[in-house]
Structure 1
Amino acid sequence: MEEVRKLNNDAYEWLKNIPPQHWSRSHFTGRAHTDAMLNNMCEYLNSKIVEGRDVPIITCLEYIREYLMKKVVTVQKEIDKATCPLTPTATIWVGKLKKEATQLRSVFYGNGKYQVSKNLMEQFVVDMGQQTCSCRRWELIGIPCAHAIATMWEMLKNKEIDKIPEDWVNRTYWLETWKNMYSFTIQPINGRNMWEKSTCPTTLLPPKHHVPIGRPKKKRRRSAMEVEDLVKGNQLSRAQKSVTCSKCNKIGHDARTCKGQKAGGAGSAKVKAGGSQTLRNVGGARSAKVKDGIANVKVVVLGWKCKSEGWWCWKCKSEGRC
């Protein structure tokens, strides 16, 4: 908190009035089995119903119902493809933790406790009886951390347990739990012309609609922290934009920093003595006949560089210099 006070005193005054278990991972109970502190799931759903938010309530609800109906079927197909005991995301997560656990060393100290270390600076205590680790990752997310997995391998080697690391994962991440959550289906319904008429005697009129001035806003408002991440040197960065060069039509740079040639071909052609060839400009818009190394041109085609008169020379009758 002292570091927060040094950075921003207003933020410190605001945070000290909120219980730490609501915003600090060090005080999370682990009941939710996640360490996420963002509302990404809400933002994801909000982005999917953008098109249905500006319509009347019945149409909006129908839009959401149809989206959820297709979403449930999509997840059920993913469940049918899965072959591991855990969900696909949890399987990838545990695989990364296993790879990290190969670099750790576990030592038994009695009473079901192990000391797991990578070097003298990184050292943690794993309690297999309580299923906890001093890094608190196992308690927060319900998946054994790399230190716990290293301990499990040590116990398996000594034949103290017969469970693999996947068996210690909380039931929240099991494929069977995911399958039970999506065991239902949202039934399709008929169109409005086949709906039963309501027996309510009151006729509900549509609300008064006022079209505001200007273009309607569809994108969500970015928070102050998101804007700060995009600002570098008092200017918005292009970190989330793909820049296309107007010269070579390639992605990743602009025309100012382009080191290639303009799209459409080379800007000049070599001519052997005694032969003739059609010399085209960069864009391929015009051409001139070249014979014996001399170009009979009255004007320089747009896009060529004249070595004698500079750029865009309209009067040069050169000997192949342009």
Structure 2
Amino acid sequence: MTSNAAESFNNVTEEFRKYPITTLVEFTRFTLQNWFADRLENASKCTTPLATTFEKDLKAQHEDGRFRTVYRNGAQLFNVGTGPEGQRGGDVDLVERTCTCRMFQLLKIPCPHACAAAISQNASLYALSSPYYTKDTWKKTYDATINVVDEEDDWVLPEHIKNMRVGVPVDKKPVGRPRKSNAGRKSMKRRPSNGQVVVEPRHCTNCGGSGHNRATCKARV
């Protein structure tokens, strides 16, 4: 949904982007290897049905919705009233997993209105949450193994890779009108425009140098 992940990783690799590509690739592998191992360990320690972050979100939604008034409007349709601090109400469909606040559809986790409706029907809030937020999915995401790359002499390459030859990059024609070259053009002393102040460089009368005068000249007399 955003480019935050790419920008964060660019920030991590900023120092190593000035090194050869092989060093950068090795650093990327090492970084991902450590990240996967740390996240897999955190997922294994999780004791709740949902991952830690989403478990906290669901508890917050449950706390917001448990004091709301619920009016049944059909088999699985409910009108949920405003919250204790004046938060807006919503219409919930537990079968389609929708709410007029649209939080239920977008985040795939019960909103306060859906939590209130589910509580009134003794329905499980975990069953209404997306399976992508579960602890098992969290563990499977980081269960992959990133192995160390062997020495280059031990690589087994397919024939079509061995015979591949990388050509010279094709120069792309720049967009727009080409700039004219000023090579060979004689420099002309232009008259200053009206109101333009022309600053002439200072010349030392002692040594003949520019940028200073006789008083500040450091040349030996």
TM-score range, shorter chain: 0.5 to 0.7
Once the two structures are superposed, residues 132-174 of structure 1 have per-residue CA deviations (whole angstroms, 9 ceiling, x without a partner) of 0000111111101010000000111xxxxxx421221011111
- Distance in 2 (CA, whole Å) between partners of 1:81 and 1:197 is 38
Q: Does 1:41 align with 2:5?
A: yes
> In the alignment, does 2:128 pair up with 1:168?
yes
Moved over 4 A (4+): 197-204
Distance, in Å, in 2 between the alignment partners of 1:145 and 1:121 is: 12
Deviations 1:211-247 (A, max 9, x none): xxxxxxxxxxxxxxxxxxxxxxxxxxxxxxxxxxxxx
Partner of 1:195: 152
Task: State whether residues 107 and 116 of structure 1, in contact with CA within 8 Å, keep that contact through their aligned partners in structure 2.
Answer: yes
Q: Distance in 2 between matches of 1:150 and 1:203?
A: 65
1:133 to 87, 99, 111: 99
Shift of 1:129: 2.0
What is the aligned length?
Answer: 159
- 133 and 56 in structure 1: CA distance in 2 versus 1, 3 angstrom threshold: same
Return 83-92 or 113-122, whichever deviates more.
113-122
- Asked if the contact 1:103/1:118 (under 8 Å) is kept, the reply is no
Tell me, yes or no, if structure 1 residue 182 matches structure 2 residue 142.
yes
Structural RMSD (CA): 2.5
Q: 1:115 to 1:57 in 2, by over 3 A?
A: same
**CA displacement at 1:122 relative to structure 2:** 2.0
Aligned to 1:53: 17
1:69 to 22, 33, 40: 33
Greater strand percent: which structure?
Answer: 1
C-alpha contact (below 8 Å) 1:52/1:64 kept by paired residues: no
Stretch of structure 1 that moved more, 173-182 or 112-121: 112-121
Q: Distance in 2 between matches of 1:62 and 1:147?
A: 49
Aligned to 1:223: none
Task: Quickly say closer, same or farther: Cα 1:201–1:97, change in 2 above 3 A.
Answer: closer
Give the superposition deviation at 1:123: 2.4
TM-score by length of 1: 0.45
Partner of 1:152: 118
State how far apart, in whole Å, the 2-side matches of 1:52 and 1:96 are: 41
Deviations 1:26-53 (A, max 9, x none): xxxxxxxxxx5x3222222222211222
**Structure 2 counterpart of 1:165, one-letter code:** L
| Per-residue deviation, 1:202 | 9.7
SS in 1 for 2:16: coil
Task: Check conservation: 2:51, 2:134, Cα contact below 8 A.
Answer: yes
**Cα distance in 2, alignment partners of residues 93 and 139 from structure 1:** 15
Residues 89, 113 of structure 2: 8 Å contact kept: no
> Any residues of structure 2 matched to 1:210-221 within 5 Å, and which?
none
Q: Quote the residue 1:124 is aligned against.
A: 90
Q: For each residue in 1:19-78, what CA deviation from the matched residue of structure 2 results, as whole angstroms up to 9, or x when unmatched? A: xxxxxxxxxxxxxxxxx5x32222222222112222221111111011001111001110
Letter in 1 for 2:93: D
Q: Secondary structure at the match of 1:167?
A: coil
Q: Does the 8 Å CA contact 2:66/2:119 hold for their aligned counterparts? A: no
Q: How does 1:239-258 map to 2 (within 5 A)?
A: none
Query: Is the 1:114–1:125 Cα contact (8 Å) retained in structure 2?
Result: yes
Identity %: 24
Aligned residue in 2 for 1:228: none
Q: 1:86 to 1:140 in 2, by over 3 A?
A: same
Distance 1:201 1:141 in 2: 49
The one-letter code sitting in structure 2 at the alignment partner of 1:54 is K
1-structure distance, mates of 2:8, 2:113: 33
In 1, Cα distance between equivalents of 2:87 and 2:34: 50
Output the TM-score relative to the length of structure 2.
0.65
What is the distance in 1 between the residues matched to 2:115 and 2:16?
Answer: 46
